[in-house]
Amino acid sequence: MILAVSTHSNNIQIAVKSSKNIYLNSLNAKVSQSKKILHMIDATLKDAGVSKKI
């Protein structure tokens, strides 16, 4: 489950909750770099073992 996505300047942060842990990840990217941001979100979900079904 994605808990939060935060942006400040070019720093984008995501918090993902698995059944046991919370995974945090951050990326320096412009909001317009959506492909790079989505890759970071996908990698964080994979690390957390969370299904990415939407």
Would residue 53 count as lying in a domain?
A: no
In a domain, 12, yes or no: yes
pLDDT at residue number 53: 55
Predicted TM-score (pTM) of the model is 0.61
Q: Is residue 21 one of the residues assigned to a domain?
A: yes
Q: What is the pLDDT of residue 9?
A: 79
Q: Indicate whether 42 belongs to any domain.
A: yes
Q: Looking at the 3D structure of the chain, how many domains does it have?
A: 1
The answer to the question of residue 25 being in a domain is yes
Residue 21 structural domain: 2-48
Predicted confidence at residue 52, as pLDDT, reads: 59
**pLDDT value for 8:** 76
The sheet carrying 2-8 orders its strands as 2-8, 11-17, 22-28
In a domain, 39, yes or no: yes
pLDDT at 32: 80
Three-state secondary structure call for residue 33: coil
Phi and psi at residue 5, in whole multiples of 5°? -130, 125
Could you tell me which of 21, 9, 6, 18 has the C-alpha nearest to residue 40?
A: 6
Question: Smallest Cα–Cα separation from 17: which of 54, 45, 52, 53?
Answer: 45
Whether 22 is covered by a domain: the verdict is yes
Task: Pick the closest to residue 41 from 27, 53, 28 (CA basis).
Answer: 27
Per-residue pLDDT of 9-50, as tens digits, reads 788 888 888 888 888 888 888 878 888 888 888 888 888 887
Q: Residue 24 falls within a domain, yes or no?
A: yes
